[in-house]
Chains A and B, each alone.
Chain A
């Protein structure tokens, strides 16, 4: 039996079988061809099997066959569109896993995040990736838009690409915003309460729209479920649909635009010809994309593993409005606008106009040229708009334009209701019980019994003293007396009471403001 087995023949058969399998999996590429591909060698067969792949394989069918050399120049696209897509895929992957651990109900949601952080290996990393990826996607989408605007790539046949792009910008913003609510912490709850209350100001159907979003007059179980479904089903599907159209226009119809100088300047023929030379998808664009993907993954993992922690505040409390409520940063501009006028005008009508204008950019701008110096007004307007967005964002910060009474402001900055603040950053050992009076106790040598003193506590006390005195000089806090009380409250727990007593500048009545902050030893203050 054994003797009759022809070994050479068997090997050949096996090789054939493997070859056949590989060709099926790679949609027609042989092993030798694969190797040549990765090495950057010319195709091994005729006709070029690398083109056939674009017909036989779905995934390659939706990729471009080639781009022109000039349009792949790095400083033309900065690969911004590619990285936007990269972040979107990262969000899909991490989001799918997060869904396993998440329960969309007010009583469970926050707990499920805590559980993710304390019981799921890589749980924190996943959450950080998903959060950072979301921020990355918003940033890169905006930059990508800015780039296509400045290179004039939205003109003529690419008008529709731009249009789908603006839809994608909206979808990206709403994706991010709808995800914001899901951890059900104070930050999320109040940002979204404010956000949806904007819908309330819409003319005609504002009340109904708000109700539709929240599912009830206040955000509760219904609202959370609605945001969850928006976040995991409707908006991702919409994004996939729109990206497909957007990318189809780029990859299969128009290609990436050539840098304008190759089309508009009188460059030597051979330079233009070189710029228009084809760069094939396989292998050049493909390997480049692989490289960019590994680079992106590397940077993301390094950032999340060592530097970035997604914020998680206290559990949402509808009864307690935090002193400073803040929209996510990509909506600060809107918050800034709201400070300038009434809700309907600034929150609904103007933003609608702005996005309407964005949609219409290719149809308003009839200037046929794309180079910056040939369209100075468009470029100036673009830069001006960018500046306006940045300024408005600055004005959107809670520090800007909202008058918080001086005493409350000082104590809030020292120990914010949500987030870390300087006081919470003081190591537990340095929180020595005591009665530290501003202008009576020097902010130095406060804890002689500690070997290394308590520099962080002293710094906090110095800051407190200084701000109280500054406010007193400015006339906001006449006859001020301020004190920082630290009491041992339980084993490993201290109670810190910053208290400011002053007489009201107008009525002369004595007023006082204080906050009780409990700090536990195990509360890891490094994270």
Chain B
């Protein structure tokens, strides 16, 4: 009798297990689709973080581009016109992955961005000596492509008023200005940034006074930022944007100068 009970229960359990498996089977299609969405969402999240670390210095915090340094990646032009302009046959995703992987040695728009003689954008793929793995570049591409909805439909996302970073130290505030205006993309200051388009500014607090006869360090720095063409450092092209006078408010400029003067 006991034997039969076990056979009966065993069969019952197996049958229920089978039913569960069949039910699971019916929901698999949906589960897989859900996982694929999840996977894409995760790629976008990962890409966003990587973009912030690697690309914002040139392409801006939100991909809006920095005049004179790197083009916007979040505007309608990039999503609708750009492929025609360069004559790219494949998809936009391929274009992004290819461009980012290999970098860009020569600018396609040397009048607007650096890249005549100096590389416009470094290589990123570790296959070509860059720092990123291919899966990371694919994640960044997913993130950039996710700008399409807002770009094409002209949606403006609300930005918060800049978090009140109440620092009473003008040097600290100046560093924030330096980081927010794309200077980091072109200039190296040890511990702050690693751009190579313009001169290294790690010791600019010392050298500034000796650049131009008759100008104090502060006067020289003000001139370098507001009218960069007035004095072009030897060995460099006149690539620095000319409109900082319009984009950086006077208070911020004062902080920025304090920060630069402190680099000794």
- Contact across chains for B3 and A287 when beta carbons are under 8 A apart: yes
A520-B143 Cα distance, complex, nearest whole Å: 10
Q: Which residues of B contact A499 (CB under 8 A)?
A: 163
- Contact across chains for B163 and A302 when beta carbons are under 8 A apart: no
Q: Which residues of A contact B42 (CB under 8 A)?
A: 314, 520, 523
A39-B4 Cα distance, complex, nearest whole Å: 6
- Contacts A40-B3, A488-B158 given; indicate if A294 touches B11 (C-beta within 8 A): yes
A119-B16 Cα distance, complex, nearest whole Å: 26
B134 sits at the interface (CB 8 A)? yes
Q: Which residues of B contact A492 (CB under 8 A)?
A: 41, 146
B91 to chain A, nearest CB (A): 19
Main secondary structure of the interface of A (DSSP, over half): mixed
Residue of B nearest to A495 (CB): B48
Q: Count A-B contacts at CB 8 Å.
A: 140
A497-B187 Cα distance, complex, nearest whole Å: 27
Cβ 8 A contact of A524, one of B4, B16, B37: B37
Interface of B toward A, CB cutoff 8 Å: 1-4, 6-7, 9-11, 13-14, 16-17, 20-21, 24-25, 28-29, 31-32, 34-42, 44-46, 48-49, 52, 62, 133-135, 143, 146-147, 149-150, 155, 157-161, 163, 167
- Contact across chains for A114 and B3 when beta carbons are under 8 A apart: no
- Contact across chains for B17 and A121 when beta carbons are under 8 A apart: no
A125 sits at the interface (CB 8 A)? yes
Known: A40-B1, A123-B32, A287-B3. 18 other contacts (CB 8 A): A38-B7, A40-B4, A107-B134, A121-B32, A283-B3, A287-B7, A290-B10, A291-B10, A294-B13, A297-B14, A298-B16, A305-B20, A434-B160, A487-B159, A488-B157, A489-B157, A490-B157, A495-B48
Proximity bits, A152-180, B CB within 8 Å = 1, else 0? 00000000000000000000000000000
Q: Could you give 15 example pairs across A and B, Cβ below 8 Å? A: A38-B3, A38-B4, A39-B4, A117-B32, A121-B25, A125-B24, A288-B6, A294-B11, A295-B10, A297-B17, A298-B13, A491-B149, A493-B45, A522-B38, A522-B41
Cβ 8 A contact of B32, one of A39, A118, A487: A118
B75 to chain A, nearest CB (A): 13
A301-B36 Cα distance, complex, nearest whole Å: 23
Q: Which residues of B contact A516 (CB under 8 A)?
A: 49, 52
A168-B251 Cα distance, complex, nearest whole Å: 72
Q: Which residues of B contact A483 (CB under 8 A)?
A: 163
- Contact across chains for A121 and B28 when beta carbons are under 8 A apart: yes
A166 to chain B, nearest CB (A): 33
Residue of B nearest to A121 (CB): B28
B107 to chain A, nearest CB (A): 27
The interface size bin for chain A is 35 or more
Cβ 8 A contact of B62, one of A295, A489, A491: A489
Q: Which residues of B contact A488 (CB under 8 A)?
A: 157-158
A527 sits at the interface (CB 8 A)? yes
- Contacts A40-B3, A510-B167 given; indicate if A295 touches B35 (C-beta within 8 A): no
- Contact across chains for B157 and A291 when beta carbons are under 8 A apart: no
A122 sits at the interface (CB 8 A)? yes
Interface of A toward B, CB cutoff 8 Å: 38-40, 107, 110-111, 114, 117-125, 283-284, 287-288, 290-291, 293-295, 297-298, 301-302, 305, 314-315, 433-435, 483, 485, 487-493, 495, 499, 510, 516, 518-524, 527
- Contact across chains for B157 and A118 when beta carbons are under 8 A apart: no
- Contact across chains for A433 and B150 when beta carbons are under 8 A apart: no
- Contacts A305-B20, A433-B158 given; indicate if A118 touches B39 (C-beta within 8 A): yes
Q: Which residues of B contact A38 (CB under 8 A)?
A: 3-4, 7
Cβ 8 A contact of A315, one of B13, B25, B135: B135
- Contact across chains for B37 and A522 when beta carbons are under 8 A apart: yes
Q: Which residues of A contact B133 (CB under 8 A)?
A: 107
- Contact across chains for A485 and B163 when beta carbons are under 8 A apart: yes
Residue of A nearest to B1 (CB): A40
- Contact across chains for A518 and B13 when beta carbons are under 8 A apart: no
A297-B17 Cα distance, complex, nearest whole Å: 7
- Contact across chains for A287 and B167 when beta carbons are under 8 A apart: no
- Contact across chains for A490 and B147 when beta carbons are under 8 A apart: yes
Residue of B nearest to A435 (CB): B160
Q: Which residues of A contact B37 (CB under 8 A)?
A: 522, 524
- Contact across chains for A298 and B17 when beta carbons are under 8 A apart: yes
A483-B133 Cα distance, complex, nearest whole Å: 33
A48-B35 Cα distance, complex, nearest whole Å: 56
- Contact across chains for B160 and A487 when beta carbons are under 8 A apart: yes
Q: Which residues of A contact B32 (CB under 8 A)?
A: 117-121, 123
Q: Which residues of B contact A284 (CB under 8 A)?
A: 3
A518-B44 Cα distance, complex, nearest whole Å: 8
B38 to chain A, nearest CB (A): 5
A302-B13 Cα distance, complex, nearest whole Å: 11
A520-B38 Cα distance, complex, nearest whole Å: 9
A524-B36 Cα distance, complex, nearest whole Å: 10
- Contact across chains for A493 and B34 when beta carbons are under 8 A apart: no
A509 to chain B, nearest CB (A): 10
- Contacts A297-B17, A524-B37 given; indicate if A314 touches B48 (C-beta within 8 A): no
A39-B1 Cα distance, complex, nearest whole Å: 8
Residue of B nearest to A286 (CB): B3
Top-8 shortest CB links A-B:
A40-B3, A520-B41, A522-B41, A291-B6, A518-B48, A491-B149, A294-B10, A523-B41
Q: Which residues of A contact B9 (CB under 8 A)?
A: 291, 294-295
- Contact across chains for A111 and B6 when beta carbons are under 8 A apart: no
A298-B13 Cα distance, complex, nearest whole Å: 6
Q: Which residues of A contact B143 (CB under 8 A)?
A: 490
Q: Which residues of A contact B159 (CB under 8 A)?
A: 487
> Which of A315, A488, A522 has the largest number of chain B CB atoms within 10 A?
A522
Q: Which residues of A contact B45 (CB under 8 A)?
A: 493, 518-520, 523
- Contacts A490-B150, A516-B52, A527-B38 given; indicate if A290 touches B160 (C-beta within 8 A): no
